[in-house]
C-alpha cells in the first residue's frame, strides 16, 4: 500500500480543503512526495459535495479576519483555477434582500464590512432595482453584489485531484483509507489506516466533520468540538425556476453563523432553496432521520452544546419546526418571492455543516488552523472555505514548508 519509503506529507481528507492544500504543496515543492488519505471510496463525498455551490465575495466577514482575507483572495484564485477545462462556473451576481426595517442596521454593517474587505461593485439598492435584477423578488432595500458566482465544488475537488495525480508518481490519492490512529517512528509520524500504516514527515488534518477526532488521535486537544448542523434544501419545480435568475439571499441574523435560507440558481439551471440549520444526530448523515449513537453522544456529552442550546432555544425550536413543516419553509421563501406556490417546491438535497463549538457554547466564526508538534490541524473550515480553498492551501503550504525546513 502507498509508498513503502513513506511520504513527506500525508493530507488526511479528500474534500476541497485537503485537495487544495495538496495541490498547492505539490506545485510549489515538486520534489516532495505527498499522499491524500480519504476514508470514502470517492472524493468530495461530504461537505464539498453537499453545499450551495456559491463563490462568495467576502461581504459577511469581519475585516481583518482569516475568512475576510482568504475569501477575497481565494475567490480570485478559484476563478482563475476554474479556467481549467471541465470546471464550469458563472459570475451571476447576487442580491441580499431586507424585507423588514429592523434588518437595515445589519444590512448596512454588511455593506461596511464588504467595502472594508474590498468587495468590488457592491451597492445598496432600492425596491425598483431589486425588481429589475430579480423580477419576482420583493424587498424594501437590498445589496447588489455583482461579483458573486456559482460553481460545482465537487467538480473543483475532482479536478484538483486529477492535477495532483499528474504531478508525478510520488504523489498519490488513496481513497478507502480511513485514518484511525497515529504513532511515532523517530522523526516520522506513522499514520494508521484501515488499510495499513503510512509514514510521513508531516501530517495535515483536513478531515472536515471529523477534524476534531483526527486531532485527538494525534494527541492534540482541539479546544473545540465539531457539532454537526444539518441543512435541508428544497428544489424549485421546473414550472417555477424562471422566478429566480441568479442568487437571492436574506440579511443573515447576526447572532448565528449561518447565512439563512436563500435561492441559488445552479450551473445546470435548476434552483435550490435552503438550507435551514438544525442540530444533526449524525455527522455524515444525509436524511432527516440519520442517526449515529457515537456522534449524538459526542455532541450531547459536550457542555458547549448545552450552553449553545440554552442560549438559542427559541431559534432552535423554530428551525426544527421549519425542518418538519413544509408550510413554514414555504413561508420563509415567500418573504422574498410571494408568488412561490406549494406545488413549486419539492424536497431536495441535504448537507451537514461542521461547526466548531467552544466549551462555553461559542460558535467559532473564523477559520481555525492549529499547528501541532507533528501535524497541522484545520479545526474550523466552514463556509466560505470552499470558496477560499486555494487561499487556505497557500497558507498551509507556507506553514508546511517552514515545518519541513523548505523555503516557502
Ligand X SMILES: Cc1cc2nc3c(=O)[nH]c(=O)nc-3n(C[C@H](O)[C@H](O)[C@H](O)COP(=O)(O)OP(=O)(O)OC[C@H]3O[C@@H](n4cnc5c(N)ncnc54)[C@H](O)[C@@H]3O)c2cc1C
Footprint of ligand X (CB under 6 A): 12-18, 37-40, 45-48, 50-54, 56, 178-179, 206-210, 214, 231, 275, 351-353, 381-387
In the complex with ligand X, which residue's Cβ is closer, 61 or 336? Answer: 61
CB 191 → ligand X: shortest distance, Å?
A: 9
In the complex with ligand X, which residue's Cβ is closer, 86 or 181? Answer: 181
- 8 A C-beta contact, residue 189 and residue 199: yes
CB 184 → ligand X: shortest distance, Å?
A: 18
From the list 255, 269, 265, the residue with the least C-alpha distance to 365 is: 255
CB 232 → ligand X: shortest distance, Å?
A: 9
Q: Report d(CA 373, CA 355) in Å as an integer.
A: 24
- 8 A C-beta contact, residue 157 and residue 19: yes
In the complex with ligand X, which residue's Cβ is closer, 35 or 111? Answer: 35
CB 206 → ligand X: shortest distance, Å?
A: 5
From the list 62, 29, 77, 46, the residue with the least C-alpha distance to 392 is: 77
In the complex with ligand X, which residue's Cβ is closer, 12 or 133? Answer: 12
Using left for φ > 0, alpha for ψ between -120 and 50, and beta otherwise, residue 358 falls in: beta
CB 18 → ligand X: shortest distance, Å?
A: 5
CB 53 → ligand X: shortest distance, Å?
A: 6
- 8 A C-beta contact, residue 237 and residue 341: no
* Cis omega (within 30 of 0) for bond into 334: no
CB 230 → ligand X: shortest distance, Å?
A: 8
DSSP letters of 71-127?
HHHHHHHHHHHTTSTT--EEE--EEEEE-SGGGHHHHHHHHHHHHHTT-TT-EEE-H
Sign (positive/negative) of CA torsion 361, 367, 371, 376? positive
CB 335 → ligand X: shortest distance, Å?
A: 20
In angstroms, how far is the first alpha carbon of the chain from the final one?
Answer: 30
In the complex with ligand X, which residue's Cβ is closer, 49 or 304? Answer: 49
In the complex with ligand X, which residue's Cβ is closer, 178 or 365? Answer: 178
In the complex with ligand X, which residue's Cβ is closer, 93 or 208? Answer: 208
CB 31 → ligand X: shortest distance, Å?
A: 25
In the complex with ligand X, which residue's Cβ is closer, 35 or 137? Answer: 35
In the complex with ligand X, which residue's Cβ is closer, 48 or 172? Answer: 48
| 301 backbone dihedrals φ, ψ, rounded to 5° | -90, 0
| 369 backbone dihedrals φ, ψ, rounded to 5° | -125, 120
- 8 A C-beta contact, residue 36 and residue 50: no
CB 237 → ligand X: shortest distance, Å?
A: 21
E strand or H helix that includes residue 234: strand 225-236
From the list 214, 212, 218, the residue with the least C-alpha distance to 364 is: 212
Q: Which residue is nearest to ligand X (CB)?
A: 15
- Looking at the DSSP bridge assignments, the partners of residue 356 are 226
Q: Degrees (nearest 5) of the Cα angle 357, 257, 151?
A: 115
In the complex with ligand X, which residue's Cβ is closer, 231 or 250? Answer: 231
Amino acid at each position: 500500500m502507498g509508498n513503502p519509503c513513506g511520504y513527506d506529507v500525508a493530507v488526511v481528507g479528500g474534500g476541497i480543503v485537503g485537495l487544495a492544500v495538496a495541490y498547492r504543496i505539490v506545485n510549489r515543492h515538486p520534489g516532495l512526495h505527498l499522499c491524500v488519505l480519504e476514508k470514502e471510496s470517492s472524493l468530495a463525498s461530504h461537505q464539498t459535495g453537499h453545499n450551495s455551490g456559491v463563490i462568495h465575495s467576502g461581504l459577511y466577514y469581519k475585516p481583518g479576519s482569516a475568512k475576510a482575507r482568504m475569501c477575497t483572495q481565494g475567490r480570485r484564485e478559484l476563478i482563475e483555477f476554474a479556467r481549467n477545462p471541465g470546471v464550469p462556473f458563472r459570475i451571476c451576481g447576487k442580491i441580499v434582500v431586507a424585507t423588514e426595517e429592523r434588518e437595515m442596521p445589519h444590512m448596512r454593517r454588511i455593506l461596511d464590512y464588504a467595502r472594508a474587505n474590498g468587495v468590488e461593485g457592491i451597492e445598496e439598492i432600492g425596491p425598483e432595482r431589486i425588481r429589475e435584477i430579480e423580477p419576482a423578488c420583493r424587498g424594501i432595500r437590498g445589496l447588489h453584489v455583482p461579483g458573486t458566482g456559482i460553481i460545482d465544488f465537487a467538480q473543483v475537488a475532482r479536478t484538483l485531484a486529477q492535477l495532483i495525480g499528474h504531478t508525478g508518481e510520488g504523489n498519490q490519492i488513496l481513497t478507502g483509507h480511513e485514518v484511525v490512529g497515529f504513532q511515532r517512528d523517530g522523526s516520522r509520524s506513522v499514520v494508521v489506516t484501515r488499510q495499513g500504516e503510512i509514514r510521513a514527515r508531516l501530517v495535515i488534518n483536513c478531515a472536515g466533520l471529523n477534524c476534531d477526532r483526527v486531532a485527538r488521535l494525534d494527541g492534540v486537544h482541539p479546544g473545540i468540538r465539531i457539532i454537526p448542523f444539518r441543512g435541508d434544501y428544497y428544489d424549485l419545480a421546473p414550472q417555477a425556476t424562471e422566478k429566480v435568475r441568479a442568487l437571492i439571499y436574506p440579511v443573515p441574523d447576526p447572532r448565528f453563523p449561518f447565512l439563512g435560507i436563500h435561492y441559488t440558481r445552479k450551473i445546470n439551471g435548476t434552483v435550490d432553496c435552503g438550507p435551514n440549520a438544525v442540530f444533526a444526530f449524525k455527522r455524515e448523515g444525509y436524511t432527516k432521520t440519520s442517526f449515529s449513537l457515537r456522534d449524538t453522544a459526542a455532541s450531547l456529552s459536550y457542555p458547549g452544546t448545552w450552553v449553545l442550546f440554552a442560549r438559542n432555544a427559541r431559534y432552535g425550536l423554530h428551525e426544527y419546526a421549519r425542518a418538519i413543516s413544509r408550510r413554514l419553509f414555504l413561508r420563509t421563501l415567500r418573504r422574498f418571492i410571494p408568488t412561490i406556490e406549494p406545488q413549486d417546491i419539492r424536497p431536495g438535497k441535504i448537507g451537514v455543516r461542521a461547526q466548531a463549538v467552544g466549551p462555553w457554547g461559542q460558535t467559532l466564526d473564523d477559520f481555525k488552523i492549529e499547528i501541532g508538534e507533528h501535524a497541522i490541524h484545520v479545526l474550523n473550515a466552514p463556509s466560505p472555505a470552499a470558496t477560499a480553498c486555494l487561499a487556505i492551501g497557500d497558507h498551509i503550504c507556507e506553514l508546511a514548508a517552514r515545518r519541513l525546513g523548505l523555503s516557502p
